Amino acid sequence: MTEREFDVVVLGAGPAGEVCAGRLGESGLDVAVVESHLLGGECSYYACMPSKGMLRPGELLTEVRRIPGVAEAVTGELDAAAVLRRRDEIVHHLDDSSQVAWLESRNVTVFRSPGRLDGERRVVAGDDTLVARKAVVVATGSSPLIPPIDGLREAEPWTNREATTAEEVPGRLAILGGGVVGVEMAQAYSSLGSTVTVIERGDRLIPREEPFASDDVEQSLREKGVDVMLGTSAAAVRAESGEVTVETGEGGPVRADELLVAIGRRLNSDDIGLDTVGLEPGRPVDVDDSMRSPAHDWLYAIGDVNGRALLTHMGKYQARIAADVILGYPTGCVNTTADGSRSPRVIFTDPHVAAVGYTLDAAQQDGLNVRAVDVPTQGNAGASFYGRDDARGTTRLVVDEDRNVIVGATFTGPEVAEFLQAATIAVVGEVPLDRLFHAVPSFPTRSEVWLYLLEKLGLAGPCGGPQRS
């Protein structure tokens, strides 16, 4: 056992851990990162990046088929093998050497081993004990949750890891769970040629989003030939002769060549030595808004493992906050409006679902005095060039009537992911509605959706009033 001292030890190098380590290292601190698998974490290799690589070709083909002139030029189906080859390039063939180089160029020492806390400021990584002078940052992320369904584990289902690294497209794919991962993978595999069935216990897909977003995604998946079974639970699973059968009480058995489990995530906090510092293993590592544990002033937790927002961009945001707190920079201005469960989020189906802040229902449940205004996302001149007739979509703003600011926005429509940042700025910046009149969208862009939203709110005047209806 060798003992080595660093200013900061970061446990886990997914997007959150590596951003935090890099920021600390380039600011002059002596930093160690302990990573058991690949630097870049789940997002780079088995989640965000490969899934979007698998979705984009199908999305593009759907869009091209909507546009006269170019539709005639593209007549075939997707080349699934080529799509998977491009996906492999996007994930660098599971080679993290460029990320190792990025960290090492910032004075970060990489330990490739599982790591565990071992009492105050100490992390054990293989034969090394790393002692942190200033802080330990836990960034161990999350893993797929496998529910205790009879026969499920024995059937060796796919998780996001197999779904994003598969070399072949199964003829029939069953997906347990109609959340974000479930609907994205349903669309991706359907576009690559699988016959897909989604089994969802609840009465709608993507239940945390606005109901119209659930409806839009469900209708679109059905149009693409996906069998969406709502209100349906998996009671038991059997695997025999290369076929998986999911017994459902409600809808009869579902037979498939592969079964993907996409019902949620388990935080990687059960085997990282939390008990050695008096914290409960298996629970989210509780932190305050500076990402510091209320129990220990040297312990920080960022990314999925603190359970605040299981999204890469939020983990990276938390990483920058934690690094700046450790560096002693002022962070009193940290505005957590976009933090937690109401952070910006995009579902890359066709239509996209792009949302920030509250849904109407969530705002009302929190006791806010809100009203919603809806317009068609495609109801403007700019939309003549995108989507066209069969592209559905709604845009909703949720307005706090007491403060005259937007507290939530949801866009559904073709390729609306990039719309979201404008709404995020309005929500996080708490821009008064009257000011938004002066943020003039260019003609003919689909951003004119803002103009129609403000008009519908009765606010499309230079000084906000008089109220129009």
Ligand X SMILES: Cc1cc2nc3c(=O)[nH]c(=O)nc-3n(C[C@H](O)[C@H](O)[C@H](O)COP(=O)(O)OP(=O)(O)OC[C@H]3O[C@@H](n4cnc5c(N)ncnc54)[C@H](O)[C@@H]3O)c2cc1C
Under the binding rule (CB under 6 A), the answer on residue 42 touching ligand X is: yes
Stretch that binds ligand X, among 39-47, 86-94, 128-136, 430-438 (CB under 6 A): 39-47
| Alpha carbon of residue 455 to chain centroid | 32
- State whether residue 208 is helix, strand or coil: coil
Q: Could you tell me the smallest distance in angstroms from the CB atom of residue 109 to ligand X? A: 14
Q: Shortest distance, CB of residue 92 to ligand X, whole angstroms?
A: 14
Q: Give me the least distance between CB of 127 and ligand X, in Å please.
A: 14
E strands, 282-321, in order? 299-301
Instruction: Name, in order, each residue with C-beta under 8 angstroms of 268's C-beta and a sequence gap of 6 or more.
Output: 12, 140, 141, 142, 143, 304, 305
Q: Which is nearer to ligand X, 159 or 404 (CB)?
A: 159
Contact pick of 8, 9, 10, 16 for ligand X (by CB under 6 A):
16
DSSP β-ladder status, 234-240 and 243-248: antiparallel
Interatomic CA distance for residues 146 and 306, integer angstroms = 20
By the rule CB under 6 A, 198 interacts with ligand X: no
| Cβ distance to ligand X smaller for residue 52 or 172 | 52
State the nearest-atom distance from the C-beta of 148 to ligand X, in Å.
Answer: 20
What is the β-pairing status of strands 172-176 and 195-199?
A: parallel
53 binds ligand X (CB under 6 A): no
Nearer to ligand X by Cβ, of 214 and 318: the residue is 318
Binding string to ligand X for residues 155 to 184, with x set by CB under 6 A, is what?
Answer: -----x--------------------x---
Region 272-331 residues binding ligand X, contact defined as CB under 6 A: 272, 303-304, 310-313, 315
**Nearer Cβ to ligand X (303/387):** 303
Cβ atoms 462, 438 nearer than 8 A: yes
Residue nearer to ligand X on the CB measure, 221 or 310: 310
- Interaction pattern, residues 387-426, with ligand X; x per rule: CB under 6 A: ----------------------------------------
Amino acid at 85: R
Secondary structure class of 406 (helix, strand, coil)? strand
DSSP secondary structure letters along 169-200: --SEEEEE--SHHHHHHHHHHHHTT-EEEEE-
Name the nearest CA neighbour of 156 among 235, 241, 244, 234: 244
356 binding ligand X? (CB under 6 A)? no
**Dihedral Cα 199, 265, 411, 421, nearest 10 deg:** -160
Binding positions for ligand X, rule: CB under 6 A: 11-17, 34-38, 41-43, 47-48, 51-52, 114-115, 139-142, 160, 181, 268, 272, 303-304, 310-313, 315
